[in-house]
A = this chain, B = another copy of it.
Amino acid sequence: MRTVDWDYKTGKLLLIDQRKLPGIYQVNEYQNYQDVIEAIQTMVVRGAPAIGVTAAYTIALCGFESKAGVYDELVVDLTRCASDLQKARPTAVNLGWAIHRMLSYIKKNEETDTDKLRIAILGEAQRIADEDVVTNLAIANYGSKLINDGDTILHHCNTGALAAVDWGTALGVIRKAHEDGKRIHVLVDETRPRLQGSRLTAWELAQYKIPYDIITDNAAGYFLSRKMVHKVFFGADRVASNGDVVNKIGTYMLALAAFDNGIPAYAVMPTSTIDSSISRGDLIPIEERPSNEVLNIQVGGEKVVPEGSSARNPAFDITPNRLLTAIVTEKGVLHPPFAESIRSIL
């Protein structure tokens, strides 16, 4: 199934519970929007594109939840839902992008009967989900041409089907190259603190039968400096108009080490991840998540961190555009200077 989907029989939103993978494959059902907001915050669903599509469906869910009989009342309910959703996570722009598109759609359909409008809103959410798959396939087609037979690829976080509706971004590129018959080996960095690499990317690669080894985030520099990696791929949660990439914590040091060793580093995302209203990466808000995500690590069933320790846990960092070889989107592969190449496709 899709990572994020709508069950038309029951009118429920379905999310693969990504906190339980790879041990347990469980699909959660949602029928009220507050529960979805909590699911976004606790990372049942994560990955910028997946969060965007989830938000779109959640507006539809909110429409069905609302008791409003007239357009204006329905808009009040939907706007409150949109505003609560917007606050769920601050960094990824796809959330705001999907909410904005849904509200614009609702605004354009003022004349519609509210019951018909509820269904039409679901239709728009469905279009966003379907377009996400088409977009990701276009990304995969462009990006896979960058991969050669025999490449070893270092990949950060999870950017696969689980981060989107299907296919995903950077991992979709790798999957497409594999399906095209290229022999690829992937170094999967574990991506502390939430281990999206060793939990989710490793799980996806195993499904696709792509060979991989897990490494600690610390080990990336070693493999890069020994030239045992040909290319580095990662996704993005928000991209500034100059091409600075805000992505999962650790991306900056990884891109820096790739650059220091002359190894190409590619950021992969749909153009909906580009926030043309923000000129530089350091102006993008960075979410700091609960310290427990760092402190709850165990080995052999034992907590390893001393009692009473505190932690800092920024979830994202900023990779300056100077460290990127290219940016891969559904509209093509963008090269430096990125301010220009980004402007040309928006």
In the complex the two chains form, is A213's CB within 8 Å of B312's CB? yes
Tell me the minimal C-beta distance from A321 to chain B in angstroms: 14
Residue from B22, B302, B313 within 8 A of A304 (CB atoms)? B22
In the complex the two chains form, is A187's CB within 8 Å of B312's CB? yes
Nearest-neighbor residue (CB-CB) of A314 within chain B:
B222
Query: Which chain B residues border A217 with CB–CB below 8 Å?
Result: 192, 216-218, 250
In the complex the two chains form, is A249's CB within 8 Å of B218's CB? yes
Q: Does A112 contact B (CB under 8 A)?
A: no
Task: Kindly state the separation between the CA atoms of A250 and B316 in the bound complex, as whole angstroms.
Answer: 19
Instruction: Mark contacts of A193-222 with chain B using CB atoms, 8 A cut-off: 1 yes-contact digit, 0 otherwise.
Output: 101001100110010000011111111111
Tell me the minimal C-beta distance from A197 to chain B in angstroms: 10
Chain A residues with a Cβ closer than 8 Å to the other chain, count: 61
In the complex the two chains form, is B252's CB within 8 Å of A311's CB? no
Which of A52-60, A70-78, A293-301 has 4 or more CB atoms under 8 Å from chain B?
A293-301
Query: Which chain B residues border A286 with CB–CB below 8 Å?
Result: 222
Q: Is the interface of A mostly helix, strand, loop or mixed?
A: mixed
Q: Does A150 contact B (CB under 8 A)?
A: no
Residue from B193, B213, B252, B304 within 8 A of A221 (CB atoms)? B252
Query: Which residues, 215 to 254 on A, are CB-close (under 8 Å) to B?
Result: 215-223, 225, 248-250, 252-254
In the complex the two chains form, is B297's CB within 8 Å of A198's CB? yes
Query: Which chain B residues border A310 with CB–CB below 8 Å?
Result: 212-214
Please list the residues of chain A having a beta carbon within 8 angstroms of any beta carbon in chain B.
22-23, 187, 190-193, 195, 198-199, 202-203, 206, 212-223, 225, 248-250, 252-254, 256-257, 260, 282, 286, 294-314, 316-318
Could you jot down 26 A-B contacts, CB within 8 Å? A22-B307, A187-B312, A191-B218, A192-B216, A198-B304, A198-B305, A198-B309, A199-B304, A203-B306, A206-B309, A213-B310, A214-B294, A214-B309, A214-B311, A215-B294, A216-B249, A218-B249, A219-B249, A219-B250, A219-B313, A219-B314, A222-B249, A222-B314, A225-B317, A256-B260, A296-B299
